[in-house]
Structure 1
Amino acid sequence: MHFHRSQILGSMLALTPQASHAYPGTSPKCSLDNIAHQLSSIGSSLSNNATILSVTHVQLNGSYGDPHSPQGLPSLVSTGLPDLCAVEVNVTSSESSSYTISIFLPSKWNSRFLATGGGGTGGYVNYLDMGVGSQYGFATMSTDNGHRGSPYDRAIHGSVELSKRLIKGYYGKNIQYSYYTGCSTGGRQGLKEAQVGADSFDGMLIGAPACNDYYPVDDPKSIPNELFPTLIAQTVVDQCDEIDGVRDGIVSDPENCYPDFEVLSCDSTGTNSSACLTSLQLETLAKIYEDYYIGSEFVHPGLELSSEPGWPQYLFADTPTSWGIDYIRYVVFEDLNWPLDEYNSSVYERLKNLEISHEIDADQFDMSPYREHGGKILMYHGLSDPLIVTRGSSHFYKQVELATGETYPITDWFRLFFVPGMLHCSGSPPGVDAPWHINGAGQNWQTGSGAYSVPGFQDSKHDALLALMEWVEGGKAVDQIIATAWHNSTDPSSGVWKQRPICPYPKTAKYNGVGDVNEARSWKCA
């Protein structure tokens, strides 16, 4: 076992310069000696391979995190923290690998543990969601998954196990309940952990878990990028919006809408050729929405109606998204120059048979051990998510229901909520501006560091984490969650604009026909 202070990963993890209230070792509990003692008393292979990187006391309203955030992320410095002890530990997992765990230990502990997931390729410590969790009183944990930018995910189970033991030793009493929150890659990480270690968590808040044909722009089958968020998105709204009883630009029930895209055909009389689709382009559009099969084997669901506004940014730019093609290049073929136009069904077969795919994929649908442990899952997904296909969540949910049998209804322990108009994990397209904030993972990144819960609505009716806790600890199943949007989506002080209930699948929110459409009480789940 190794105990020392050091600059973490070459100063990549450090206190933000303005964190004048954060300083090391100011209390006997939050000290290198005490944390070293707790690790030593664990006496496992994990703790024997652990190196303490730092122990830092953060005073009330102090800051802590990583000012050198990976590209594409906001500053990973959590501000306005409660008084807590921040511990950084590195665990050697093999001769050539290690992973870093960060743990926040608040002085006012609620006797609960909260693990937080990451996103993208997961190569960072999620200090922001850790900070949100610590505001409730959770002892929180996040891991960098053993890398900074590599596409592998290999550290959740060891991180959870070591963190729990360290927390128990630090406070001198058992953890009463253990929770998890994560979206995108973080959602998959949580589901995978529940499949690997059924007793890791009592409740999990899972968002948009990451569990198509591509044509060059000069190919006649290719659809111009600018038509997705305009012509095609508007056609979907025109034909699908009013299913919930009100025309407001928010598509609430795409599963029961079957739009006729022939109205966009350039063969239609009087159609402007710059605002229509050729027969070949209409075939491409149909493939985008269709589920992908190789022979009779289901491979991946098609994209969802109402997700079109985000397609140009995430999926159909001049080059395909790097997350997909880089995985094939780095992992499947180990060839950085592998060209996408060589894709065929044999690539899928090769990927499916890779050992690393089985380690990463959360595809062990029989989650009976987690259910029998008493665990609960509250999963949510934005219906307008352009990155992680919405129907992937309903497919996962149905597969788990089939695999776990009919003895216990799946709604007794697992509920899925779709959020109309929400993009990937948070936010809503301009002009749609649907309510989306339910305190999902990463959502308070939008409303400012230091924010927690749903600002102004810190209760189980609006906050999905509190609703999950009420279900786990009080037995009250989650029948709806009220989503919130403000006039300025990133500034709750701008005032509430819209609120609407989101409903457990397959129910959807229906307008009562008489009330204010922007008030939650005017809607019901049906």
Structure 2
Amino acid sequence: MGQSNARAASGPDKAAALQAVAPVMHCEALQAQDLSDIGGAGSRVLTASVNTENGKSQCAVEGLLAPAIHFKLKLPMVGWTQRYLQVGCGGLCGSISMDAGAANGCAALESGEFAMASTDMGHQGMGGEFGRDTQSRADFAYRGVHLTALASKKLIQAFYGQRQAYAYFSGCSDGGREALMEAQRYPQDFNGIIAGAAAMNFQVQNGLYHAWQSTANTSADGKPVLTADRLPLLHRAVLAQCDALDGQRDGLIEDPRACHFDPKTLQCPLPGASPQSDCLSSAEVETIRKLYDGPRDPATGKRLTAGGPQPGSELSWAGVFVAPQGSTELFSTSIAMDALKNLVFEETPPASFTLQDLVFNQATFDKLRARHPLLDATNPDLSAFKAAGGKLILWHGWSDPHISPLNTIAYHEAVQTTLGAAQAAEFERLYLLPGVYHCQGGEGPSAIDLLSPMMDWVEQGAAPGKVQALPPAPRTAPSGFGMPKLPPGVAMPVLAPPASDLTATPVKARWISPYAGSASAVPVDASGWMGSDFFLPYTPRMR
């Protein structure tokens, strides 16, 4: 495909020199642009028309890259300052989201200065059936995002008569995986990449982590052992033990790895006692231990996942792998079944396959290895991205129930090991947000702007330091981040922080510093989990 010309301009003084550029052609004329050189025969602009969004006029473009990658591109009619932002999608994608993610309060974005694009990654709908088709898998793995970048830049060149000065990518969840896939496979596509709560360890994350979280909380009769109404009791006990470890009681745990909570402290005193309002049954205690610990190979004791949900995350379990009373619907069940039946194995399981058929052992893990170089984005060799001048910001909420933050820490440290800590520090940063759930929300301040410091880093050479996180404003969750479809009459409870002196102080803004390691714990023991080699350099698989 050739180079994508992300770096049409550079230098410490360039940011100040960027001027607004006006279109040189009518919006509708973009429909005549040929995209077959990018996506192959049949690739084209479907529609191009002027509309108004948030009071700003834009050229809204929809396009197709063969065989089935749909994308949208928004081109400002006024005030484009030569910057391009592409954003990712969540879950298994299948729809186009234009949510910019970690850019709360970014002035350039809010004033409409960016050209923006996103893609559905080559299939429509949230189901995983597309994974049975070789081309669709490749489009989802890496091709959809890359070709959207190339097509959008070609249309920018045509519309404004010049290329973008800087190109950025921001995504969370699978969007974080997409972000890292770009840095690893196509280091010339973007100057700055922001990867939040990345589903980079895709094979293990969806094939084993969510499957375990679902089955561990399912009794022999198919009903959940732990229900969402029990979570505040558990969370309150975790905070009572660990909140003050960081020197202040604020309802947040600064580094959950330092919290060694034993749920047995909540077990009802009488053997076989039914769950009470102030204690847990032995079955609930055992289930909680399984949820924290994750699956292990029964023969060796080795972990099958890099890590589980962290202490302090308990309220966020609701709707993911802990359902409300009266419901057995779990997001972990649906995402695991989609992945296991359609995506992660070379050999498709039989139609009768259920999670109860999945064996958590080394033999199952080894079946995930074949598509690791295709779907995973854990290659720590970012030397080409660094050589191209790229900058990378990783971020993750400590209370994420969907993807353990230990995966992101493991990747951050793998990059340091591969390139050297000093070399990595020249282009990569990691931010961990206490009390923050998956990509947004939670008990901690989650509204954060990482796009502005990224722009300063790329355009002015000013490396980011502390960033401010604010309590989030109410918002609608982007598609793909996963909540169960509950039966009629069953409502998802709103689990507010426990009403106690531990959390009496309202959540305030806090400054989040780049992660610099911690003496409290080793995030991933290289000899302790079966997929440690997934975080070593590897050759990407294309099909």
After TM superposition, the score normalised by the length of structure 1 is 0.73
- 1:242 is matched with 244
For 1:272 and 1:324, the matched residues in 2 are separated by: 31
Output aligned runs, 1:88-487, within 5 Å: 88-92=62-66, 97-107=67-77, 108-129=79-100, 133=109, 135-149=111-125, 150-151=127-128, 152=137, 153=140, 154-211=143-200, 212=212, 214-215=215-216, 217-219=218-220, 223-226=225-228, 228-267=230-269, 273-274=275-276, 275-279=278-282, 281-290=284-293, 292-294=295-297, 295=300, 296=302, 299-317=305-323, 318-320=328-330, 321=332, 322-331=334-343, 332=345, 333-344=348-359, 345=361, 346-354=363-371, 357-406=372-421, 408-428=422-442, 432=443, 434-438=444-448, 463-485=449-471
Q: Do the aligned partners of 1:418 and 1:504 also contact (CA within 8 Å) in 2?
A: yes
Q: 1:260, CA displacement in angstroms?
A: 3.6
Contact 1:292 1:300 in 2 (8 A): no
Distance 1:379 1:136, change over 3 A: farther
Deviation at 1:483, TM superposition (A): 0.8
Cα deviation, residue 116, structure 1: 0.6
User: Is 2:71 aligned against 1:56?
Assistant: no
Mark the CA change 1:309 to 1:338 in structure 2 (over 3 Å): closer, same or farther.
Answer: same
User: Does the 8 Å CA contact 2:309/2:399 hold for their aligned counterparts?
Assistant: no
Q: Does 1:84 align with 2:58?
A: yes
User: Counterpart of 1:311 in structure 2: which amino acid?
Assistant: W
Long gaps (5+) in structure 1: 1-26, 64-79, 439-462, 509-526
- State whether residues 171 and 194 of structure 2, in contact with CA within 8 Å, keep that contact through their aligned partners in structure 1: yes
Q: Whole-Å Cα distance in 2 between the matches of residues 411 and 474 of structure 1?
A: 17
Gapped runs of 5+ residues in structure 2?
A: 1-22, 129-136, 201-211, 477-505, 519-543
Counterpart code for 1:314: V
In structure 1, what is the Cα distance between the partners aligned to 2:383 and 2:100? 29
Aligned equivalents of 2:171 and 2:31: distance in 1? 27
Aligned-pair distance for 1:201?
0.9
Q: 2-side partners of 1:81 and 1:123: how far apart?
A: 28
- For residues 237 and 72 of structure 2, what CA distance do their matches in structure 1 show? 47
Pairwise CA distance, 1:349: 2.3
For residues 293-342 of structure 1, give each alpha carbon's deviation from its aligned partner in whole angstroms, at most 9, with x where no partner exists.
Answer: 54447533121111110213111333542011221123333434312111
Q: 1:148 to 1:421 in 2, by over 3 A?
A: same
> What is the count of residue pairs matched by the alignment?
419
* Higher RCO (C-alpha under 8 Å, 6+ residues apart): 2
Q: String of CA shifts for 1:228-266, please: whole Å, max 9, x gaps.
A: 522211111111111232212122221222224332233
The CA distance in 1 between the partners of 2:30 and 2:172, in whole Å, is 34
Q: Is the 8 A contact 1:292 1:302 kept in 2?
A: no
CA contact (8 A) 1:222 1:284 kept: no
Residue 416 of structure 1: how far off its partner (Å): 0.9
Secondary structure at the aligned position of 2:447 is classed as coil
Q: CA RMSD in A?
A: 3.0
**Structure-1 separation of matches of 2:90 and 2:510:** 27
Q: Which residue does 1:519 correspond to in 2? A: none
Q: Which residue in 1 is equivalent to 2:512?
A: 502
What secondary structure does 1:148 align onto? coil
Report the CA distance shift for 1:289/1:475 in structure 2 as closer, same or farther (over 3 A).
same
Q: Distance in 1 between matches of 2:55 and 2:369?
A: 43
Structure 2 distance, partners of 1:273, 1:291, is 23
SS of equivalent residue, structure 1 residue 266: coil
Mapped contact 1:330–1:336 kept (Cα < 8 A): no
From the superposition, tell whether residues 473 and 298 of structure 1 become closer, same or farther in structure 2 (CA, over 3 Å). farther
**What is the aligned partner in structure 2 of residue 442 from structure 1?**
none
Instruction: Select between 198-207 and 227-236 the one with higher mean Cα deviation.
Output: 227-236
SS at structure 2 position matched to 1:328: helix
Q: Report the Cα offset of residue 138 of structure 1.
A: 1.1
CA distance in 1, matches of 2:64, 2:412: 35
Please tell me the residue identity of whatever aligns with 1:470. Answer: D
Distance 1:474 1:308 in 2: 41
In structure 2, what residue type is equivalent to 1:305? Answer: P
In the TM superposition, residue 279 of structure 1 has moved relative to its aligned partner by: 5.0
The alpha-carbon deviation at position 466 of structure 1 amounts to 0.4
Counterpart contact for 1:228–1:309, Cα < 8 Å: no
The CA distance in 2 between the partners of 1:113 and 1:208, in whole Å, is: 22
Q: Which position in structure 2 is the counterpart of 1:517? A: none
Residue 441 of structure 1 corresponds to: none
Q: Deviations over 1:154-187 (max 9, x none)?
A: 4111111121122122211232111001111111
Q: What whole-Å deviation, never above 9, does each CA across 1:491-517 have from its counterpart, x for those lacking one?
A: 9xxxx9621111211379xxxxxxxxx
Equivalent residue, structure 1, for 2:501: none
- 2:44 maps to amino acid: T
Amino acid at match of 1:148: Q
Q: Percent identity?
A: 28
- Structure number with the higher strand fraction is 1
Which digits, 9 at most, give the CA deviation of each residue in 1:47-104, with x for residues without a partner?
A: 654222111112xxx23xxxxxxxxxxxxxxxx0522211111111xxxx31112111
**1:121-151 CA distance string (max 9 Å, x none):** 1111113449994734111111111111243
